[in-house]
Amino acid sequence: MATQTMSPGRTNLALATLFLGTFGLGTAELLVVGVLNLIAADLQVSIPAAGALVTANALGLAIGGPILTTLTIKINKRTVLIGTLVLFILANLVPVLTADYGMFVAARTVAGALQGLFIAVGFVVATSIVPPERMGRAISVVISGVAVSTALGVPLGTLIGQVLGWRGSFTAVVVFAVIALIAALGLIPSMPSTGGGAAGQAKYAFAPRVLAALGLNFLVFAAMFAALTYLVPFLQRVTGISGGLISLFLLAYGVATAVGSFGGGRFADTNAARTLIVATVGVAVSLLALYLLGTIVFLAALALMALGLFGMGMAASLQYRVVSLAGPGGQLASALPASAINVGIAFGSAVGGAAIGTFTASSAVITGLIIAVIAIPVAWATSFLKPPVVQNAALVERVTATVASASSPRPAAG
């Protein structure tokens, strides 16, 4: 898709709108975790049943996101983003207005699929309104919305839930989504689809080189969440902390992920393949440090922050590589990393849970470390993968168009 010619200010406002959207959708994704007990008590269901609301959202994102992206691939991207936000608002009004658990689960599945669609199309829009050399930074803006939602949105939503009830939290999400919708109506440019149809893109989006890059997405996040899912028991039993100090650890991790996601875009623009190798090694070293030094509070905090920095610092490069390797199938491929990541999170949580249930509180961290070590040679091997020849030609054409417009009074900017 060709770069849109926009003023620097308008481009930044459009990117900010995409950030607001992913922040709101990311907050809704994990909000249930913070008010799980309140939902269970109010709807008179078990804690595991309430936890299924998280699973429903994740499955909707992993499976429904790519399906919706495929179905809407020929529609104007501005229309897709606006329509997605409208439907997302309606999906999150369901738990506010009803007390039916089954409808809540269905609404969460739909909301997850819409989140996957918004993120995928958001990547396409973001990278189309900036010059090619700022593609990684544009991707990082979209990713940062999710990272900041974890660090800030979920704790705020949880606080609202404790004061106003869990429905108050979802009402706040709806209000924020309405704000994002208004911003999108005013700031996202019209962007007709210029690529081929889903069938034509699929052969590029699911090519072996792309699947290999998606495999790295899976491994990295499986490694991280094998440990992170069971971080609280680790901190309680190994590090020896509890209560408010655990919240500070989680906040520090959240801040580190936000910093990493914002900064990672620049590394993606410089050399995405090399970034993935360095960051994968960083994830492994961080998990090793957490295991060896986890009994020392300060060093455990540093290891956890390093894990957040390296893990989310590579997120933009993961997306960048998948889309680049897909070539003409980039629009369809843009939805796939989120799916691979969610499957990786589910797998990591499962094997980490099996390890901690069988052995000690440190077993989940060791499990994550093993997966991370496996990911290192995969990161190295995928660094040799090249985009298809047709992508190279398109990229040359795009760069040429950007250079030719450099003398314009309204150059493309990020």
**277 and 353 share a domain?**
yes
pLDDT at 194 over 70: no
Residue 195's pLDDT band (cuts 50, 70, 90): low
Do residues 232 and 160 share a domain? no
CB-based contacts of 338, cutoff 8 Å, min separation 6: 61, 62, 65, 116, 119, 120
Residues 299 and 252 in one domain: yes
pLDDT digits (tens, 9 = 90+) for 349-384: 888 888 877 777 788 899 999 999 999 999 999 999
Nearest to residue 146, comparing CAs of 263, 314, 309, 23?
23
Does a structural domain hold residue 8? Answer: yes
Answer with the one of 167, 194, 221 that is the final residue of a domain. Answer: 194
pLDDT band at 392 (very low <50, low <70, confident <90, very high): very low
Q: Which residue range(s) make up the domain with 279?
A: 196-407
Exposed (0-12), middle (13-18) or buried (19+): which is 298, by Cβ within 10 Å? exposed
Under DSSP, the state recorded for 133 is: G
328-354 pLDDT per residue, tens? 888 888 889 988 988 888 888 888 888
The string of pLDDT tens digits covering residues 240-251 is 987 778 878 888
Q: Tens digit of pLDDT for each residue in 219-242?
A: 999 999 888 878 878 888 899 987
Cβ of 400: how many Cβ atoms within 10 Å?
Answer: 10
Shared domain check, 326 and 403? yes
Q: Sorting pLDDT into bands at 50, 70 and 90, what band is 209?
A: very high
175 and 132 both lie in a single domain: yes
Instruction: Give alpha helix (H) positions in 198-335.
Output: 198-205, 208-228, 231-234, 244-293, 297-313, 315-326, 330-333
> Do the domain assignments include residue 414?
no
Domain stops at, among 194, 221, 239: 194
Q: How many Å apart are CA 79 and CA 89, to the nearest integer?
A: 16
Question: Are 178 and 243 found together in one domain?
Answer: no
- Check whether residue 10 and residue 136 sit in a common domain: yes
pLDDT band at 196 (very low <50, low <70, confident <90, very high): low
Query: Looking at 143, 175, 194, which one is the last position of a domain?
Result: 194
Tens of pLDDT, residues 156-180: 777 888 788 889 989 999 999 999 9
Q: Does 413 map to a domain?
A: no
What average pLDDT score do residues 47-61 get?
A: 81
The verdict on 203 and 147 lying in the same domain is: no
Total domain count, the chain = 2
Task: Give the least confident one: 123-137, 207-221, 308-322, 363-377.
Answer: 123-137
Give the domain CATH number at 95.
1.20.1250.20
The average pLDDT across 248-269 equals: 88
- pLDDT higher than threshold 60 for residue 400: no
Distance separating alpha carbons of residues 203 and 210, to the nearest angstrom: 10
pLDDT level of residue 308 (50, 70, 90 thresholds):
very high
pLDDT (tens digit, 9 = 90+) per residue, 73-132?
Answer: 889 999 999 999 999 999 999 999 988 999 999 999 999 999 999 998 998 899 888 888
272, part of any domain: yes
DSSP string, 321-359: HHHHHHGGGHHHHTTHHHHHHHHHHHHHHHHHHHHHHHS
Does residue 188 form part of some domain?
yes
- Tell me what the pLDDT averaged over the chain comes to: 85
Residues 156 and 217 in one domain: no
Q: How many residues does the chain have?
A: 414
Same domain, 71 and 152: yes
What is the percent of the chain with per-residue pLDDT over 70, rounded to a whole number? Answer: 92
Residues 277 and 344 in one domain: yes
User: What pTM does this model have?
Assistant: 0.80
- The model's pLDDT over 280-298, given as tens digits with 9 standing for 90+, comes to 999 999 999 999 999 999 9
Is 176 within the bounds of a domain? yes
In a domain, 69, yes or no: yes
Do residues 234 and 104 both lie within one domain? Answer: no
Per-residue confidence (pLDDT) for residue 198, from 0 to 100:
73
Confidence tier at 4 by pLDDT (50, 70, 90): low
